[in-house]
Amino acid sequence: MKKNKKNLKPSELAALQEAENAAALEALKKRREKEHKKMLKSKGSNKQVGKSWKNDVGIFLLLFFTGLFMIFPIYLAVVNSIKPVQEVFLMPPKLYAMDPTTDNFRDLFKIASDSWVPFSRNVFNSIFVTVVACVFHVLFASTAAFVLSKCKFPGNALLNQVVVIALLFNSTVLYIMQYMVMATLGMINTYSALILPIIASTMGLYLMRQSMSTIPDAMIEAAKVDGSGLLRICWGIVMPNCKPALMTIIIFEFQTAWNTNGGGLVYDEALKTIPVVVQQIAAAGMARQGAIAASAVVLMIPPLLVFVLAQRNVMETMAHAGMKD
Amino acid sequence: MAENTSVKKEILLPSERKMSRKEKRDYTLHEMKRNYMCYVMLAPFMILFLIFTVIPVVMSLPMGFTDFNMASFPKWIGFQNFYSMFLEDDVFIQSIRTTLIFAIFTGPLSYAMSFMLAWLINELHPTLKTLFTLVFYAPSMAGNIYFVWQLIFSGDQYGYLNAFLMELGFTSAAKQWLTDGNYVLGCVIVVQLWVSMGAGFLAMRAGFQGIDKSMYEAGAIEGIKSRFQELIYITIPSMGPSLMFAAVMQIVSSFTVDIVGRTLAGFPSTDYKVHTIMTHAYDYGWVRYEMGYASAVCFVLFIAMLVCNNLISKLLGKYVD
């Protein structure tokens, strides 16, 4: 039939097309009815196609073994932190602690509390730096990301480019230049040297920008017509729809801020954060092998808590359906 | 016809019309004034960004063209650093090879893996979802916990891998995983994969969570038959921006592999086996204090990353606005 198509007159062609369309429409209707019946049968909950238990088992096994690979070293760190000294150097090495103790943790806190300033001060520093950096990064970066992705203004394209380029730029002298800029501004050995660079990190901004660009413009136009200002649109309408990305940058930033050691930016003992103190303890070498493992475990706990809380929040918020364009 | 075009001209927006330079400037100023709120909202972040990123980056760009040893003022030497890098420095040429190997293994492989894992996890029961996300992200969360790999790859019988292999009878003697030139690259690639999956993976998880679920229902009705079709026609197009973010993160982490290799294999590593461009820059910058040369090395790397980024954004272009 297709062969003859060229030889047909326009009117005949149109009639043929109409017939074809009608047939296609009929087929589509039938298929939809079938699908509808199928969906009704499965109580409407099975929205995924091609599901079978064989697939599920395969997927689960794959995830399980990859997961084992990911978690095994962390498991080792935890086990090493509860091993008494004589077991750490046992031959052959054991995958579990035969005689678990909390000595390593006790040692760690003893060493930490023996230092120049009370350990509670370091804990306070870490918490203060992390919370302030996180909160302000989320506020500033989300607002900026909204403007970069959803507003048209002179300079938008340039700024977007600059953000990506900044993410890629990595130079040995960059750190020295940062130090020089901070020194000029008198920030060395203050909290701002620890906090401000984290607030200014571009990773969170870029992630938010990318996530916001999936939100339909029509929604923003509608809000504008209703008379909302940009700030209100950003925080009242766009942000609640970007919760997965928001939770992700909270996780990223919390982790960055929590693990920040300030390098040479802060040298006053009273301003040092926990990771710096832990590094100082670890620098004592092999004799503190257990204490090092213990410190790694202790340092992991706060990011872990934030991660679990944030993830749970994502699950809850995504339970309701998204918006339509 | 002529009438038609003249009508069309009248309804063109000012931004689409050809303007004189003065007109253009006035228009830009007008637009800036009209959108002043945008600048106000950008200001808090952009001021900090300017201070801590833009200014240091702009200051460090020209360093590659100087002879700078941290003690005396940088001396301008033009392209001298680049000449000696490509023509005289054998280790640098080798480091390019090593970096490419790392980039190929930990870049596309890790990217594909994090995408696949995020996709598979997305369809599990919510509790399992959280659990697996936690498991896969844990290595990135653990900070510098990769020292544990030293215990695993340790060259004596205390090493977990050696003990395991000897127990099962695969080898009779302990292998020097981290000092034998034949194994060290593979070992570091494994650890780097382990370390670097996190950020991209989590971003992709967020991307999956952001997809409107009703799209799948619509897809099923429209005749999508397999999981694969679903992936190609619905999932990937609706998470383009997350894919781009993960790609950028992956480029950064796979081109700048350095610290993991230095920690595990020591510095310098056996036969420079895990000596990447970043390690080379570290060597010249922080061991020999030839900052000018180190910056030139980093500059070459930066250009390579920029090219790679542009290639990927072209590839993903149709999914990203």
Please write the tens of the pLDDT for every residue from A213-264: 888 888 888 888 888 888 888 888 888 888 888 888 898 889 888 888 776 7
- Separation between Cα atoms, residue B259 and residue B270, nearest integer Å: 16
> Can you give the pLDDT at residue B40?
87
Cβ proximity of B75 and B63 under 8 Å: no
Looking at chain A, the whole-number percentage of residues with pLDDT higher than 90 is 7
- Residue A48 at interface with chain B, using a CB cutoff of 8 Å: yes
Record: contact A200-B52, CB cut-off 8 A? yes
Facing residue for A77 by CB, picked from B28, B35, B145: B145
DSSP annotation of B160 reads H
Residues in Cβ contact with A86 at an 8 Å cutoff, skipping those fewer than 6 apart: none
Contact A172 B298 (CB under 8 A): yes
Q: Which residues of B touch A152 (CB under 8 A)?
A: 35
Torsion, Cα of B111, B112, B116, B122 (10° steps) = 30
CB atoms within 10 A of CB B1: 4
Contacts of A150 in chain B (CB under 8 A): none
Helix, strand, or coil (residue B67) = strand
Query: Across the interface, do A144 and B41 touch by the CB < 8 Å criterion?
Result: yes
| A48 contact residues in B (CB cutoff 8 A) | 123, 216, 227, 230
Count CB-CB contacts under 10 A for residue B36. 10
**Sequence-ordered list of residues with C-beta below 8 angstroms from that of A229, at least 6 positions apart, any chain:** B37
Q: Please, are residues B247 and B235 in contact by the beta-carbon 8 Å criterion?
A: no
- Comparing A46-50, A101-105, B55-59, B118-122, the range with the smallest average pLDDT is A46-50
If we measure between CA atoms, which residue out of A192, A210, A62, A69 comes closest to residue A146? Answer: A210
Q: Under 8 Å CB-to-CB from A22, ≥6 apart: which residues?
A: none
Nearest CA among A118, A77, A125, A2 for reference residue B144: A77
Least Cα distance to A169 among B282, B68, B60 occurs for B60
Q: Name the nearest CA neighbour of A238 among A152, A140, A145.
A: A145
Residue window 244-303, chain B: list those with CB within 8 Å of chain A: 244-245, 248-249, 251-252, 256, 278, 281-282, 284-286, 291, 294-295, 297-299, 301-302
CB contact under 8 A, A143 and B45: yes
How far out from the chain centre does Cα A282 lie?
A: 29
Can you read off the two tokens belonging to residue A78? 């935890």
pLDDT tens, residue by residue, A166-196: 888 877 778 888 888 888 888 888 888 888 8
Angle among Cα B198, B241, B34 to the nearest 5 degrees reads 125
Rounded Cα gap, residues A202 and B45, in angstroms: 9
Running along chain B, 321 residues long, what does each successive block of 10 average in pLDDT? Answer: 49 64 83 83 90 88 86 85 88 91 88 88 80 86 76 78 81 78 86 84 83 79 80 83 87 86 82 87 87 89 91 80 55
* CB hemisphere CA count around B295 (13 angstroms): 28
Report the chain B residue with the minimal C-alpha distance to residue A295: B145
Q: Which residues on neighbouring strands pair with residue B75, listed in sequence order?
A: B67
Tell me the C-alpha distance between A175 and A264, whole Å.
10
CB contact under 8 A, B138 and A74: yes
Local confidence band at A285 (pLDDT 50, 70, 90 cut-offs): low
pTM of the predicted protein model: 0.81
Q: Return the C-alpha torsion angle A80, A86, A87, A93, nearest 10.
A: 110
CB B260 within 8 A of CB B246: no
- What does the longest C-alpha to C-alpha distance in chain B come to? 91
pLDDT at A137: 93
Q: State the pLDDT confidence band at A3, using cuts at 50, 70 and 90.
A: very low
Tokens 């710096």 label which residue?
A276
**Residue A46 pLDDT greater than 70, yes or no:** no
Q: Residue A49: its pLDDT value, please?
A: 53
Instruction: Tell whether A166 is within 8 A of chain B (Cβ).
Output: yes
Residues in chain B: 321
Q: What pLDDT does A2 receive?
A: 46
Q: Which two tokens stand for residue B89?
A: 């420095």
Q: Does A8 touch chain B (CB under 8 A)?
A: no
Instruction: Please tell me which residue of chain A has the smallest CA distance to B201.
Output: A248
Exposure of A307 by Cβ count < 10 A (0-12 exposed, 13-18 middle, 19+ buried)? buried
User: Phi and psi of B66, rounded to 5°?
Assistant: -125, 170
Phi-psi region of A272 (alpha: psi -120 to 50; beta: other; left: phi over 0): beta
pLDDT for res A139: 92
Predicted confidence at residue A219, as pLDDT, reads: 84
What does the mean pLDDT of chain A come to? Answer: 79
Span A83-105, mean pLDDT?
Answer: 75
Type of residue found at A102: T
Question: Contact B19/B25 with Cβ under 8 angstroms?
Answer: no
Q: Give the integer Cα–Cα distance in Å for B25 and B21.
A: 6
Cα nearest neighbour of B167 on chain A: A92
Please give the single-letter amino acid code of residue A23.
A
Strand partners for B76: B66
CB-facing half-sphere around the CA of B57: CA atoms within 13 A: 16
DSSP-derived secondary structure letter, B1: -
pLDDT at residue A45, rounded to an integer: 44
Distance CA A85, CA B267 (A): 29
User: What SS3 class is residue B75?
Assistant: strand
